[in-house]
Amino acid sequence: MRAVPVLTSASPAPRSAARGGRTRTRLLALALCATLVSIGCGDEETKGDPSGADAGPDDGEEEVPCRAEYPVYHEGITVKAGELTVSLLTVSPEPPRQQTPNTWMLEVKDAAGAPAAGFTIENPDSYMPVHGHKGKRPPKVVPQSEPGRVQLAAIDFTMRGPWQVNFDVVPQGGTAIPATLQICVQ
């Protein structure tokens, strides 16, 4: 049994376990950089603290360029949620911007292409997958009088780069369907 404490003290396992999620995120970001050969990524290794001593959820995170699946806002960005289709009608500011409240208008249509009725949008949030952090606070859902429309207000993006806006679409009498809009924040 003498070997056990020796192994424990010599092993980095406890530290790794405590920071597992963050380490995975950092590795993912580095892997993306390696495949993209993109600018700015090299800084992660030199400037970033490999011991992971950064204090906050996005303090000291390097900017990451947007890949093709994170488009700059344009007309026609949609996501399916079961039978329903959610379109991103307008964004303000345009393009979406960091560190300011963003307001998005969504339009939800049914399978026949008509404005959907009786649905709700719930649990909205903004999330930056490459760093594994959210915005400072979740957006607000603002119901609209026009059929099929709902506004997401005060969407928070803490930095530039590829972001997701996630929410549940709950059809009338149905169960929640998770949906994600991916967009490049300027």
**Contact residues for Cu ion, defined by CB under 5 A:** 58, 61, 128, 131, 159
Q: Pick between residue 61 and residue 107 the one whose CB is nearest to Cu ion.
A: 61
Nearer to Cu ion, 104 or 163 (CB): 163
Q: Which residue is nearest to Cu ion (CB)?
A: 131
Long-range Cβ contacts of 15-22 (<8 Å, 24+ apart):
19/52, 21/132, 22/52, 22/132
Task: Give whichever of 141 and 159 is closer to Cu ion, judged by the CB atom.
Answer: 159
Cβ at position 133, least distance to Cu ion in Å: 6
* 3-state secondary structure (DSSP) of residue 153: strand
For 93-124, give one letter per residue: b (16+ CB within 10 A) or e.
eeebebeeebbbbbbbbbeeeeebeebebeeb
In whole angstroms, the minimum distance from the beta carbon of 164 to Cu ion comes to 11
- Residue 42, SS3 per DSSP: helix
* Closer CB to Cu ion, 109 or 127, in the complex: 127
Tell me the β-bridge partners of 162.
184
Kindly state the smallest distance separating residue 77's Cβ from Cu ion, in Å. Answer: 21
